[in-house]
């Protein structure tokens, strides 16, 4: 791994974000796009075409795109009860791990549900009405790999929130089926329907609905660049949980940190994706050098060595700064998805953390456990969006309606001010609607000059 010295050098290299930019597509993918669509298209143009086709053709588009993009011919889009039976055939140890993860995730979100479906009426007749969304769509990456953990991390918070219907879309495997582990996770999480659709076309199907795939109120879950762009383009037609890009981790470590553990945590993130970011910030040059050596040593035995090495070369690095305070400053600026504090007293520095999707305290708490069984969702803000957004949770599946139940005394107390503001804005009807409820300010009947009123005649 490359090592740089000083804050400014770190800011100008691997800690520099290209905010809002779509990363360039690799050559092989550009060739594939031209082959499928008959033109040289950007990622945005590809997604626009897919969304238009799904809106226009519905199920037929999903079947055609599945064949063209995934190389899979399907007889039906929805997973049948017969196909679901494969869930019972997974290895017992995997089934046990999924059950443990599901229990812990459910317990965590139940503890933080709060008054998720209550009428919360405060003083003065004002409050909030919280209700779960009716139907939510979960996107789970798939195809050549399967991610049952993502099923649990997205669907369980929705179920805890009280969502009435949860549907799941995932790319089919080369044979046209869905991973038994994903099916088993879906059963544990309470998913209602599963569809063998992936990519941007899955997002479009859930946003607009097709003959088979129902339209949802919100689309959640991570995906590749085409999924992220599709979520961005359909936002407003449906809600989205965020634009979750490649995973990223920042480790802040002092001179006492274990080089082997630092390297292991960096590699655990880098193996996700060639675009993953794995960064160490330390106040110790000897530690930085030792971690770089450990990364090379551990990398040699990884199954995904090529992907991991590519990620470390493109977006990884070690920054050596003057102090842990400077390291925390850089971490807050970068706003990583995962922030690991491998320092002597991590709790001391916790109060200084302002921007991170998740914070992992101490060497004994690896981020990889958070990916699977700790409890909080592993769907977290990426790309610097931890500056303004949060990990997926129960609140993502609740909507708030403001309640107004002002009594007559409150209206009398507030009405004159409301009327004055309305008239200042030129909204006479607004003012009158208030004034008609104020006995002392109700307009009197019009009387013509020189004629007696009704009670005088």
CA-to-CA distance for 42 and 22, rounded, in angstroms? Answer: 10
Contact (CB, 8 A) for 386 and 380: yes
CA-to-CA distance for 53 and 50, rounded, in angstroms? Answer: 5
Beta partners for residue 149, in sequence order = none
Kindly provide the residue ranges of all beta strands, DSSP E only, lying in 147-192, ordered along the sequence: 165-169
Contact (CB, 8 A) for 77 and 197: yes
What does the longest C-alpha to C-alpha distance in the chain come to?
Answer: 107
The phi, psi pair for 278, rounded to 5°, reads -130, 110
| Tokens linked to 347 | 């709790």
Residue 450 CB contacts under 8 Å (≥ 6 apart), including other chains: none
CA-to-CA distance for 148 and 124, rounded, in angstroms? Answer: 47
Q: Which of 294, 337, 363, 435 is catalytic?
A: 337
Residue 378 is among the residues annotated as catalytic for this protein: no
DSSP one-letter string for 108-131: HHHHT--STTSEEE-GGGEEEEEE
Q: Which of 109, 244, 338, 378 is catalytic?
A: 338
Contact (CB, 8 A) for 308 and 267: yes
Residue 44 is among the residues annotated as catalytic for this protein: no
Contact (CB, 8 A) for 373 and 148: no
Return the C-alpha torsion angle 115, 119, 120, 124, nearest 10.
Answer: 180
Active site residues: 337-338
């Amino acid at each position: 791994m490359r090592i740089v010295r000083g804050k400014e050098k770190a800011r100008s290299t691997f800690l520099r974000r290209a905010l809002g930019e779509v990363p360039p597509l690799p050559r092989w993918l550009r060739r594939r796009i031209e082959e499928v669509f008959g033109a040289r298209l950007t990622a945005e143009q590809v997604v626009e075409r897919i969304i238009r086709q799904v809106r226009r053709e519905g199920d037929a588009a999903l079947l055609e795109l599945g064949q063209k993009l995934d190389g899979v011919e399907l007889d039906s889009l929805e997973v049948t009860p017969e196909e679901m039976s494969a869930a019972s055939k997974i290895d017992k140890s995997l089934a046990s791990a999924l059950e443990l993860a599901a229990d812990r995730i459910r317990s965590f979100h139940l503890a933080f549900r709060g008054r998720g479906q209550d009428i919360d009426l405060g003083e003065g007749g004002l409050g909030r009405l919280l209700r779960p969304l009716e139907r939510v769509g979960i996107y789970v990456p798939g195809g050549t790999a399967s991610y049952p953990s993502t099923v649990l991390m997205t669907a369980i918070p929705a179920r805890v929130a009280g969502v009435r219907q949860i549907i799941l879309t995932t790319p089919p495997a080369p044979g046209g089926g869905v991973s038994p582990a994903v099916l088993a996770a879906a059963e544990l999480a309470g998913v209602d329907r599963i569809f063998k659709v992936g990519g941007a076309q899955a997002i479009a199907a859930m946003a607009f609905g097709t003959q088979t795939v129902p339209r949802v109120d919100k689309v959640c879950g991570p995906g590749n660049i085409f999924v992220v762009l599709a979520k961005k383009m359909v936002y407003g037609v449906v809600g989205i949980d965020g634009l979750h890009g490649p995973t990223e981790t920042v480790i802040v470590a002092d001179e006492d940190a274990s080089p082997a553990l630092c390297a292991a945590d960096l590699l655990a993130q880098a193996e996700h994706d060639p675009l993953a970011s794995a960064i160490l910030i330390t106040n110790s040059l000897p530690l930085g050098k030792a971690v770089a050596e450990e990364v090379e040593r551990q990398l040699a035995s990884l199954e995904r060595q090529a992907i991991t090495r590519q990620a470390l070369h493109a977006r990884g690095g070690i920054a050596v700064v003057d102090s842990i305070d400077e390291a925390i400053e850089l971490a807050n600026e970068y706003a990583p998805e995962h922030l690991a504090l491998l320092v002597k007293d991590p709790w001391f520095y916790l109060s200084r953390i302002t921007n991170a999707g998740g914070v992992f305290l101490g060497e004994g708490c690896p981020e990889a456990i958070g990916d699977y069984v700790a409890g909080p969702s592993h769907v977290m803000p990426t790309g610097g969006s931890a500056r303004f957004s949060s990990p997926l949770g129960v609140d993502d599946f609740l909507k708030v309606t403001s309640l107004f139940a002002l009594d007559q005394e409150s209206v009398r107390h507030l009405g004159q001010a409301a009327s004055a503001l309305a008239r200042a804005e030129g909204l006479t009807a607004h003012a009158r609607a208030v004034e008609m409820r104020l006995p002392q300010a109700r307009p009197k009947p019009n009387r013509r000059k020189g004629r007696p009123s009704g009670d005088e005649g």
